[in-house]
């Protein structure tokens, strides 16, 4: 297996980066899952476990990087055959969620993710407001959102759902993880070497789809409750596995509250391209589409061209993003600090040089 098949998709060579940055014995590997203090890693010749080195643990307390699922790390073999993680390779991006409800900063869920597969089950009424939140999560984290409607075998009439999702301007796939219908097309929509993550409520069929694409039962699944078709939170930890199709998939536990991560106020614009386009016609360039005069967005709602519930969610999400942003973003601060450390070090080197 190559690094690309393990999901290395940054525009520089991983081995060259290691040669330039790390001691010769440090080897690149990717974090597949984490249980307590044990990190399950994969590299081209196979899987192995490692613990975080004392140094990295110490640095993390002092604002250094801590590895999460999807991270590329530098692993070092010890004399007794065990491994330690010595460093974390700078991330291309990361999937954050907000924890405003708990009054906590945004939390990193996975690193180096290219595609978010936003799953809903056609056995339940489609919760458009929730899908808007997932799309936002993806877009603010620079991840391509792909909306997936699963359980097509239970509800083959897709027209109404297609109409309801048109405003999202997102790629949409209808699949049945159970029968396999639509799964090859979905897989083909994900590029070679990309990393995709499964997002959605418990019971929508994330793990069933994961197993279907992988071709074996790697993840446990369990039936939804008869009373309301809700899941039982069967998957309890994040799991990354390279798929035989040449890309990488991360199965996730079902998300209860889709909290929005801290981000600039305008971040909701990309999530609501229809509202953004209408907003270009408002009288005031900084119109908030609330009660301003000559607001094209409000007019579109009155004319039945824009769903009032969608606009209400736009407002709600904007307020939530602002509140979460005031709570900050721990890991992002850590990354920024690490970046500045490197810059300051480089500056010091420059000042140390003799002046001519
Ligand atoms: N009919 C039908 N059932 C499906 C399909 N996909 C999944 N299921 C069923 O839905 C139930 C829940 O599936 P899981 O894969 O465990 O759901 P999950 O999203 O991983 O749930 P959590 O791990 O709890 O977050 C299981 O009984 C699956 O067999 C499908 O395409 N059609
Ligand atoms: Mg699951
Ligand atoms: Zn307006």
Instruction: Report the 3 state secondary structure along the chain.
Output: CCCCCCCCCCCCCHHHHHHHHCCCCCEEEEEEEEECCEEEEEECCEEEEEEECHHHHHHHHCCCCCCCCCCEEEEEECCCCCEEEEEECCCCCEEEEEEHHHCEEEEEEEECCCEEEEEEECCCCCCHHHHHHHHHHHHHCCCEEEEEEECCCCCCCCHHHHHHHHHHCCEEEECCCCCCCCHHHHHHCCCCCCEEEEECCCCCCHHHHHHHHHCCCCCCCCCCCCCCCCCCCCCCCCEEEECCCCCEEEECCCCCCCCCCCCCCCHHHHHCHHHHHHHCCCCCCCCCCCCCCCCHHHHHHHCCCCCHHHHHHHHHHHHHHHHHHHHCEHHHHHHHHHHHHHHHHHHHHHHHCCCC
Beta strands at 46-52 and 83-88: parallel, antiparallel or unpaired: parallel
Is the shortest distance between the CB of 224 and ligand 1 below 6 Å? yes
**Both 112 and 218 in a single domain?**
yes
Is the shortest distance between the CB of 120 and ligand 1 below 6 Å? no
The protein residues having their C-beta less than 5 angstroms from ligand 2 (an ion) are 206-207, 234-235
The whole-number pLDDT of residue 230 equals 85
* Alpha carbon nearest to ligand 1 atom 13, residue: 205
6, 67 contact by CB (below 8 A):
no
**Both 100 and 220 in a single domain?**
yes
The verdict on residue 105 lying in a domain is yes
pLDDT tens-digit map of 143-192:
999 999 999 999 988 999 999 999 999 999 999 999 999 999 999 999 99
| Last residue in a domain, options 251, 281, 300 | 251
**332 vs 139: CA distance, rounded Å:** 16
Cα(268) to ligand 3 centroid in Å equals 14
Cα(141) to ligand 3 centroid in Å equals 26
The verdict on residue 258 lying in a domain is no
Is the shortest distance between the CB of 206 and ligand 1 below 6 Å? yes
The verdict on residue 345 lying in a domain is no
**Both 216 and 162 in a single domain?**
yes
**Both 31 and 177 in a single domain?**
no
- Tell me how far CA of residue 247 lies from CA of 14, 82, 103, 115, 191, in angstroms: 17, 28, 36, 11, 7
Is the shortest distance between the CB of 233 and ligand 1 below 6 Å? yes
Is the shortest distance between the CB of 292 and ligand 1 below 6 Å? no
Residue to substitute in 117, 231, 256, 257 for testing ligand 1 pocket (most ligand atoms within 8 angstroms of CB): 231
**Proximal ligand: closest to the CA of 286:** 3
| Last residue in a domain, options 251, 277, 302 | 251
Place of tokens 């083959």: 156
Which structural domain, as residue segments, surrounds residue 113? 94-251
Is the shortest distance between the CB of 218 and ligand 1 below 6 Å? no
Q: How many CB atoms lie within 10 A of CB 246?
A: 17
The verdict on residue 259 lying in a domain is no
> Residue 58: left (phi > 0), alpha (psi -120 to 50), or beta?
alpha
**Both 112 and 244 in a single domain?**
yes
**Both 62 and 107 in a single domain?**
no
Is the shortest distance between the CB of 254 and ligand 1 below 6 Å? yes
Cα(106) to ligand 2 centroid in Å equals 23
**Both 47 and 85 in a single domain?**
yes
**Both 148 and 193 in a single domain?**
yes
The whole-number pLDDT of residue 116 equals 98
The whole-number pLDDT of residue 348 equals 62
Q: What is the CATH number of the domain that holds 22?
A: 2.40.50.140
The verdict on residue 299 lying in a domain is yes
Residues of the chain with pLDDT under 50: none
Q: What is the CATH number of the domain that holds 293?
A: 1.10.40.50
The whole-number pLDDT of residue 232 equals 85
**Both 111 and 205 in a single domain?**
yes
Cα(311) to ligand 3 centroid in Å equals 11
Cα(218) to ligand 1 centroid in Å equals 14
Closest ligand 1 atom, CA of 201? Answer: 25
Q: What is the CATH number of the domain that holds 209?
A: 3.40.50.300
**Both 102 and 85 in a single domain?**
no
Place of tokens 């199965």: 251
The verdict on residue 127 lying in a domain is yes
The verdict on residue 162 lying in a domain is yes
pLDDT tens-digit map of 227-241:
777 888 999 999 999
**Both 34 and 20 in a single domain?**
yes
| Last residue in a domain, options 32, 67, 90 | 90
The total number of structural domains in the chain stands at 3
Place of tokens 């010769």: 24
The whole-number pLDDT of residue 292 equals 95
The verdict on residue 107 lying in a domain is yes
**Both 105 and 235 in a single domain?**
yes
């Amino acid at each position: 297996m190559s690094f690309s098949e393990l999901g290395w998709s940054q525009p520089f060579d991983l081995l060259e980066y290691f040669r330039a940055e790390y001691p010769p014995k440090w080897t690149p590997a990717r974090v597949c899952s984490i249980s307590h203090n044990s990190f399950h890693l994969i590299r081209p010749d196979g899987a192995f476990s490692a613990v975080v080195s004392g140094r990295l643990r110490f640095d993390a307390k002092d604002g250094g990087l801590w590895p999460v699922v999807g991270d590329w790390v530098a692993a070092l073999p010890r004399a007794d055959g065990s491994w330690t993680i010595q460093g974390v390779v700078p991330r291309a991006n990361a999937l954050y969620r907000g924890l405003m409800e708990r009054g906590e900063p945004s939390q990193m869920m996975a690193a180096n993710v290219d595609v978010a597969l936003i799953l809903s089950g056609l056995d339940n009424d489609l919760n458009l407001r929730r899908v808007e939140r997932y799309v936002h999560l993806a877009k603010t984290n620079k991840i391509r959102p792909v909306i997936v409607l699963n359980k097509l075998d239970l509800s083959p009439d897709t027209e109404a759902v297609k109409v309801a999702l048109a405003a999202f301007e997102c790629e949409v796939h209808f699949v049945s993880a159970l029968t396999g219908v639509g799964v090859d097309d979905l897989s083909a929509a994900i590029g070679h070497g990309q990393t995709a993550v499964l997002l959605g409520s418990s019971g929508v069929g994330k793990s069933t789809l994961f197993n279907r694409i992988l071709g074996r039962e790697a993840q446990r699944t369990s039936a939804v409750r008869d009373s309301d078709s809700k899941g039982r939170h069967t998957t309890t930890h994040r799991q990354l596995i390279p798929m035989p199709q040449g890309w990488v998939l991360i199965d996730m536990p079902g998300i209860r509250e889709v909290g929005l991560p801290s981000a600039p106020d305008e971040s909701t614009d990309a999530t609501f391209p229809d509202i953004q386009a209408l907003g270009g016609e408002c009288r005031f360039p900084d119109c908030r589409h609330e009660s301003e005069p000559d607001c094209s967005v409000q007019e579109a709602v009155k004319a039945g061209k824009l769903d009032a519930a969608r606009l209400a969610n736009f407002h709600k999400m904007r307020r939530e993003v602002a509140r979460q942003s005031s709570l900050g973003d721990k890991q992002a601060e850590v990354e920024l600090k690490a970046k500045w450390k490197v810059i300051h070090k480089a500056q010091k080197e420059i000042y140390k040089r003799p002046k001519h």
